[in-house]
Structure 1
Amino acid sequence: MSDYFLFLPGDVLIDILARLPLKTLVRCTSVCKSWYSLLTNPSFITKHLNLNRSPSNNYNELLLVRSYTSRDDGDEQEHYSLRFDDNGMFLEYQELDLPLKSYCNHYFRIIGSCNGLICLSDDQFMYIPGIFLWNPSIRKVLPLNPLPITFKSHGPYTHTIGFGFDSITDDYKVVRIVRLQFVRKSEIDIFSLSTGTWRNISHVALPHITIDEKAPQAYLNGAAHWIASSLRGHRGLIGHGSLIVSFHMGHEEFGEIMLSNRIMVHSNYLMMPNYPYFRVDKFQESLAVILFSGCSEDNTCRVWVMKEYGVTESWTQQFNIDMTQTFNTLAGFTRKGELLLATSDGYLVAHDPQAGRSTHLFIRGTTHSIYRYSFYADAYTESLVLLGNRFCDTGTSEES
């Protein structure tokens, strides 16, 4: 190490290092023990993340994209990549190497992405053998095993998983809501990255609420959100009704967000035996609901956005996309509000409905109907989270 750094005040050195690119910092962990200790400190990792997300720092706005090619396409493999999301061309920034192999399923279900971490679950088609936290930027994987509830320990069940950041304690958490079939009750367990352990919080469950099995989540405002059903019905009426349930990662409490009457009319597709999807998502830092019937009578994808969080009257229909010929599914959104759509021939495009213009990302996935929703797209920010974590699988780390 240069003698120059020996005379720098500690806070100045930290400020300099926090502004360096991520890959440079990973290499810097090998300089000396004191630098390794500094760079793997949670407070430094948070400082680096915040500085790199600052608009004044000109950080790369990235898009995480997952596609899948099946055997019918000549290959059976998951493909992950980061794309630039700030120039309209969506050029490839980095191809990612997933250091895991799905044991029971053909590909992992992506629970969510937050601050450079991706939460994966191997439960797409069968009972779950594992949940993982993956930081592809530093090539670290953390298995969240052993799980408190498995088929072997409790028998048949259905479950829903959420992932997000607890800003109160500067921690990352995974919540798992399990409905046991034979005892007809829910068990709720939460994993904390800071401790590397699961704990049971079943006492916080909402009464008379059922979250859909493997429901996709939308993480924003410190909470995970899912589509759910209530035995009380809409606005407290007796009967079944759809709503959004939230789980705040910091307070570890559930909440309810009601849908507007106009959304409820279209959500009747939820009662169909094979409805394609009715799910939540995030649209430009706002909560959104996506409804797609997929039937010949109404092959329209509707996107509703909650303009003011928590205010039922602020639900606004943002998009109304005809999916009859060109498009197949909606995979996500760009930061600028474009729709990322899978075409009927298996390619991913960014579509601007106002301009009527589509940009080809030249990413191909399978056209097999079983994997119709294998495309995944979400905003991504590089980070050092998991660097130096003692619970990580070190066999997947770059320094190994």
Structure 2
Amino acid sequence: MTFHLKKMSEFPPRDVLIDILARLPIKCLVQCTTVCKSWYSLITSPIFITIHLNRSDVMNKDNKLFLVRRCSSDQNEEHYSLHYDNQMFDEYAKVRFPLKSYANYNFRIISSCNGVICLSYDQFFITNDLYLWNPSIQKLMALPPVRVRLQSRGSFMHNIGFGFDPLTNDYKVIRIVFSNPGEIPPEVDIFTLSTGTWRDIRHLCLPYIIEDRAPLAYVNGAAHWIASDRRGVLRGRLIVSFHIGDEVFREIMLPGSMAIDVSYPLSLRVAKFQESLCLIEMQLSGHFGNIGKYYCVWMMKEYGVATSWTKQFNIDMGKILESAVLTSNGFLVSSDPESKKLRDLEIYGSTYSWHKDQFYAYTESLVLLGLKPPVLRGKEIEADEKTKEERE
């Protein structure tokens, strides 16, 4: 095998080799990077990673994956696994989480894009550490320290977005910070993977308030949040989007009844469904002492056009609670909108307030493969922190 390595690297032609390698699974490609330097350079190149990702999306369109997170009862340990998006929600693979939680709180998953997950360690503002993690290849990147921190500004509200710019083949993280509290305009910084640095872009932000650590939806190349306009007498809600490519904030209007400001800001959230921007609206029903809740799912049929909002279906949470096994933990169920049948998938997670979002659509990829420091893995992060303390 060793004797023929040079010939293998020169034959077949490069375009044929790319076509062959792009059909291989992730684990096999990681092993192929050790064959020779030319294969390593090819497989870790941004062009090949994009080719492989696009081909995987086509080949695996009927085998979508979900990333499932479970937290231990003391909140100090996280367990991850990948599952098929089928009726039985079968397990595809277990995933080793390379970081350790401290002080009884866990990492917050911001978003997933092209197989990379953005993680934030920010629950009590003691730390504001951000990471990019690719579970498929077990690569973890620690982002540089953020500019606005508790130590420098005191308490604040903040939101984080993450996405991909296809024009530059680059990944970006945006951080929006509201001080004093909810002071507008907020301070805004953006991290670009290609440069490895943060930039101050506060001058671009719109004058709206986004609730602290509000859920986001990454759709159509933009991060979306529910926001509120608190200026003047007329107060209402809307969707604020930040487009990763051109780095511009935009507004999207909500259906008329939802635009009115209400007392429960978390009753409405954005989501992604069938590649479209969606709204999930929680509504209460029944009488005092027997109050149930159900969720209305709305879809924006034509992106950016407010008149295209269409109600898709309702999910009755009362029926879910009746059909599921009640435990001290949260549970995952599947709902069929057509048959209106519910099924307990027997997957249980934490009901801790910051960890209710336990399940994420996921795509395997090679993104971050071959990336140089500050890429770190598990214990290497701890060792790096100890080295930093010793230097100080």
Q: 1:24 aligns with which of 15, 24, 28?
A: 28
Q: 1:305 aligns with which of 294, 299, 308?
A: 299
Greater shift in the superposed pair: 348-357 or 134-143: 348-357
**C-alpha distance in 1, partners of 2:181/2:95?**
41
Contact 1:343 1:349 in 2 (8 A): no
Greater shift in the superposed pair: 125-134 or 94-103: 125-134
Q: Report the residue type matching 1:376 in the other structure.
A: Q
**C-alpha distance in 2, partners of 1:69/1:324?**
27
Q: Report the residue type matching 2:282 in the other structure.
A: F
Query: Counterpart of 1:299 in 2: which secondary structure?
Result: strand
Residue 103 (str. 1) matches residue 108 (str. 2): no
Q: Report the residue type matching 2:174 in the other structure.
A: V
**C-alpha distance in 2, partners of 1:245/1:95?**
36
Residue 33 (str. 1) matches residue 37 (str. 2): yes
| Structure 2 match to 1:353 | 337
Residue 254 (str. 1) matches residue 242 (str. 2): no
Contact 2:172 2:192 in 1 (8 A): yes
Displacement of 1:4: 4.5
After TM superposition, the score normalised by the length of structure 1 is 0.84
Q: 1:126-141 maps to which residues of 2 (within 5 A)? A: 126-141=125-140
**C-alpha distance in 2, partners of 1:288/1:183?**
26
Residue 61 (str. 1) matches residue 55 (str. 2): no
Per-residue displacement from partner, 1:144-170 (whole Å, max 9, x unpaired)? 121121111222221110011111111
Q: Given the superposition, is the C-alpha separation of residues 182 and 241 from structure 1 closer, same or farther in structure 2, using an over 3 Å criterion?
A: closer
CA RMSD of aligned residues (A): 2.7
Contact 2:335 2:341 in 1 (8 A): yes
| Structure 1 match to 2:386 | none
Q: Report the residue type matching 2:67 in the other structure.
A: L
Q: Given the superposition, is the C-alpha separation of residues 117 and 301 from structure 1 closer, same or farther in structure 2, using an over 3 Å criterion?
A: same
Gap regions ≥5 residues in structure 2: 381-392
**C-alpha distance in 2, partners of 1:137/1:61?**
14
**C-alpha distance in 2, partners of 1:34/1:220?**
36
**C-alpha distance in 2, partners of 1:354/1:293?**
20
Point out 4+ residue stretches in structure 1 off by more than 4 angstroms.
293-298, 341-344
Displacement of 1:171: 0.6
**C-alpha distance in 1, partners of 2:270/2:324?**
18
Displacement of 1:212: 1.7
Q: 1:379-394 maps to which residues of 2 (within 5 A)? A: 379-394=361-376
Gap regions ≥5 residues in structure 1: 329-340
**C-alpha distance in 1, partners of 2:324/2:50?**
35
**C-alpha distance in 2, partners of 1:277/1:313?**
21
**C-alpha distance in 2, partners of 1:245/1:343?**
38
| Structure 2 match to 1:160 | 159
Query: Counterpart of 2:82 in 1: which secondary structure?
Result: strand
**C-alpha distance in 1, partners of 2:325/2:160?**
28
Query: Counterpart of 1:256 in 2: which secondary structure?
Result: strand
Per-residue displacement from partner, 1:326-381 (whole Å, max 9, x unpaired)? 349xxxxxxxxxxxx98753321111132122333321123x5x448524222211
Greater shift in the superposed pair: 124-133 or 380-389: 124-133
Contact 2:225 2:270 in 1 (8 A): yes
Aligned residues: 369
Q: 1:221-260 maps to which residues of 2 (within 5 A)? A: 221-232=220-231, 238-260=233-255
Q: 1:318 aligns with which of 309, 312, 315?
A: 312
**C-alpha distance in 1, partners of 2:199/2:354?**
35
Q: Percent identity?
A: 51
**C-alpha distance in 1, partners of 2:335/2:280?**
16
Displacement of 1:104: 4.8
Q: 2:268 aligns with which of 263, 267, 278?
A: 278
Q: 1:199-218 maps to which residues of 2 (within 5 A)? A: 199-206=199-206, 208-218=207-217
Q: Report the residue type matching 2:257 in the other structure.
A: R
Query: Counterpart of 1:326 in 2: which secondary structure?
Result: helix
